[in-house]
């Protein structure tokens, strides 16, 4: 992996597919990995969240619409447990957070109702991920940009990453933001899982 100049850690247990690799190499502040089920989108999000967990103070947040969505068999928390249990990372169930020896954290959360975004009001993350973005309201998504920040001298880039299948309550705003938008602004990128 080091020949690719890809930030990588021992906590990522397998090599990315070519599409996942393209997603992981992005330097843009905002990116969506989209397409039909089975394209490795959730794995790509988890890999991206883990890219900088060797850096002290790094904090990542992974969001789903509901806690139930996070906790389903094979969903994000289950997958993270499979990847991280054999490592020196420690799970804190009451906070739904993995803590790493570097002091970095990976937290799982949800935004089910209007106002849930304020649960994160006094926090800062260098990475925020939305799994199944089209299930979210645009206001939840936009608010979480205010949580992307870091202390002066922090090394990890500030990244907003998402993955989604087509359809859902947010389909139109997600399409407008990532697919129909002018790609020349360089701020956001869409990668198709196909």
Residue 39 confidence (pLDDT) above 60? yes
Residue 133 scores a pLDDT above 50: yes
Which has the minimum average pLDDT: 21-25, 144-148, 178-182? Answer: 178-182
Global pTM? 0.92
Q: 41, 38, 87: which is closest to 191 by C-alpha?
A: 41
Residue 104 has pLDDT above 90, yes or no: yes
Q: Which residue has the higher pLDDT, 7 or 47?
A: 47
Segment 87-98 shows an average pLDDT of: 97
CA-atom Rg of the chain in angstroms: 16
Look at residue 22 and tell me whether its pLDDT is greater than 70.
yes
């Amino acid at each position: 992996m080091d020949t690719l100049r890809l930030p990588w850690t021992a906590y990522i247990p397998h090599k990315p597919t070519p599409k996942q690799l393209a997603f992981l190499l992005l330097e843009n502040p905002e990116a969506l990995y989209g397409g039909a089920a089975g394209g490795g989108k959730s794995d790509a999000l988890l890999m991206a969240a883990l890219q900088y967990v060797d850096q002290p103070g790094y904090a990542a947040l992974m969001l789903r619409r509901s806690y139930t969505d996070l906790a389903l068999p094979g969903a994000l928390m289950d997958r993270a447990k499979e990847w991280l249990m054999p490592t020196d990372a420690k799970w804190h169930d009451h906070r739904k957070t993995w803590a790493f020896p570097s002091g970095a954290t990976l937290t799982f959360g949800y935004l089910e109702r209007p106002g849930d975004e304020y649960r994160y009001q006094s926090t800062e993350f260098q990475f925020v991920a939305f799994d199944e973005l089209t299930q979210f309201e645009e206001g939840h998504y936009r608010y979480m940009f205010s949580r992307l920040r870091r202390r002066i001298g922090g090394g990890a880039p500030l990244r907003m990453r998402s993955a989604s299948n087509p359809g859902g309550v947010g389909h139109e705003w997600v399409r407008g933001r990532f697919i129909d938008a002018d790609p020349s602004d360089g701020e956001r990128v869409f990668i198709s899982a196909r």
